[in-house]
């Protein structure tokens, strides 16, 4: 059983109530949401984002009226990359509509919700991309919101268009934070890690780098995540999963890319999640030292 199934569907496979309870007790069956299940082996093989989406699907199927997901839940439904997978599911309804659903892992929000702000993605309803980014900019922690705002181009949205909607929330919570998020957004960042690295650098006293800087190598051109051209210094963010399962040719090409950048006279520094999230001060100091060592500063 690799699909999400409710009790009726489990009974149709020949499982009795007693057998279902036994499998739950023995850890063979995983309860995704009250009344919805999947085999534990299949559930464990899913990524955290996929596990969370499964919970959203189960809640939507269990509800008499499918909910409209919002905030980080909506971002997940839209397929955006998040800084962290939401621990709880977030739904949005108009003031005075519906009652509390009683689920401890579901947060129910109430705000004005025009029909134009509701879309269907697959089998799930969610706030539109525009509304999702604005709600997240208003209400999520700053870094989490910037990570999402950096992906505005996936909806064909610009900073100006998002800013033009902010007056709708005048005198409501989070408008000032949203303006700060939109000021910080930069759609040139291509990953969560790059966004967090950019924010780390912005909070430091280091000179601002160039993003996606093009370097001409011996056999082609390459784009550096961050570059200080005068100092001939490149900073690359490597996600933990960047090379997981990568073919040997992919790893060789990446190595050749770095060699050619170095041959062109650049110094390359690589950072990862731990450097940016856990030890930012040490990472900034490392970059600063490299900037002072670079040929352009001598």
pLDDT digits (tens, 9 = 90+) for 222-267: 889 999 999 999 999 987 544 445 556 666 777 777 788 888 889 9
As separate numbers, helices (DSSP H) first and strands (DSSP E) second, the chain gives: 13, 12
Half-sphere exposure of 77 toward its Cβ, with a 13 Å CA cutoff?
Answer: 30
Contacts of 16 (CB under 8 A, 6+ apart): none
Sign of CA dihedral 15, 21, 22, 28: positive
Task: Identify the residue whose tokens are 């947060």.
Answer: 107
- How many structural domains is the chain composed of? 3
Q: Is 238 helix (H, G, I), strand (E, B) or coil?
A: coil
Task: Pick the last residue of a domain from 132, 164, 184.
Answer: 184
Task: Pick the last residue of a domain from 160, 184, 208.
Answer: 184
Give pLDDT, residue 252: 72
Residues 202, 131 share a domain? no
Query: How far is residue 15's CA from residue 31's CA, in Å, rounded to a whole number?
Result: 15
Residue range 140-159: mean pLDDT, rounded: 97
pLDDT reading at 129 higher than 50: yes
Residues 292, 198 share a domain? yes
Residue range 173-190: mean pLDDT, rounded: 95
Residues 175, 146 share a domain? yes
Cα–Cα separations (whole angstroms), residue 23 to 4, 11, 50, 116: 15, 13, 22, 44
pLDDT digits (tens, 9 = 90+) for 3-28: 899 999 999 988 999 999 999 999 99
Q: What is this structure's pTM?
A: 0.89
Q: How far is CA 252 from the centre of its chain?
A: 28
User: In which domain, by residue range, is 8 found?
Assistant: 1-45
Query: How far is residue 113's CA from residue 217's CA, in Å, rounded to a whole number?
Result: 52
Q: Is 227 helix (H, G, I), strand (E, B) or coil?
A: strand
């Amino acid at each position: 059983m690799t699909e999400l199934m409710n009790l009726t569907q489990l009974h149709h496979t020949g499982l009795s109530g007693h057998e279902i309870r036994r499998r739950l007790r023995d850890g063979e069956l995983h309860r995704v949401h009250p009344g919805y299940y999947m085999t534990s082996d299949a559930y464990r093989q899913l990524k955290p984002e996929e596990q969370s989406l499964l919970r959203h699907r189960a809640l939507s199927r269990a509800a008499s009226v499918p909910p409209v997901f919002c905030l980080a839940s909506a971002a997940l439904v839209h397929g955006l990359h998040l800084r962290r997978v939401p621990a709880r599911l977030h739904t949005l309804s108009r003031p005075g509509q519906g009652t509390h659903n009683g689920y401890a892992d579901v947060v129910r929000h109430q705000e004005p919700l025009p029909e134009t702000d509701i879309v269907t993605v697959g089998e799930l309803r969610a706030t539109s991309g525009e509304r999702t980014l604005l709600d997240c900019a208003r209400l999520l922690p700053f870094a989490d919101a910037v990570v999402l705002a950096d992906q505005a181009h996936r909806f064909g949205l610009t900073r100006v268009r998002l800013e033009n909607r902010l007056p709708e929330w005048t005198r409501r919570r989070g408008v000032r934070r949203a303006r700060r998020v939109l000021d910080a957004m930069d759609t040139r960042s291509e990953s969560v890690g790059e966004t967090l690295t950019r924010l780390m650098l912005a909070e430091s006293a280091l000179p601002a780098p160039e993003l996606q800087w093009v370097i001409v190598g011996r056999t082609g051109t390459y784009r550096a995540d961050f570059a200080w051209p005068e100092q001939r210094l490149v900073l690359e963010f490597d996600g933990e999963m960047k090379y997981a399962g990568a073919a040997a040719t992919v790893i060789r090409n990446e190595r050749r890319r770095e060699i050619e950048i170095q041959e062109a006279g650049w110094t390359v520094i690589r950072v990862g999640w731990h450097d940016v999230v856990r030890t930012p001060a040490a990472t900034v100091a490392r970059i600063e030292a490299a900037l002072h060592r670079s040929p352009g500063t001598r």
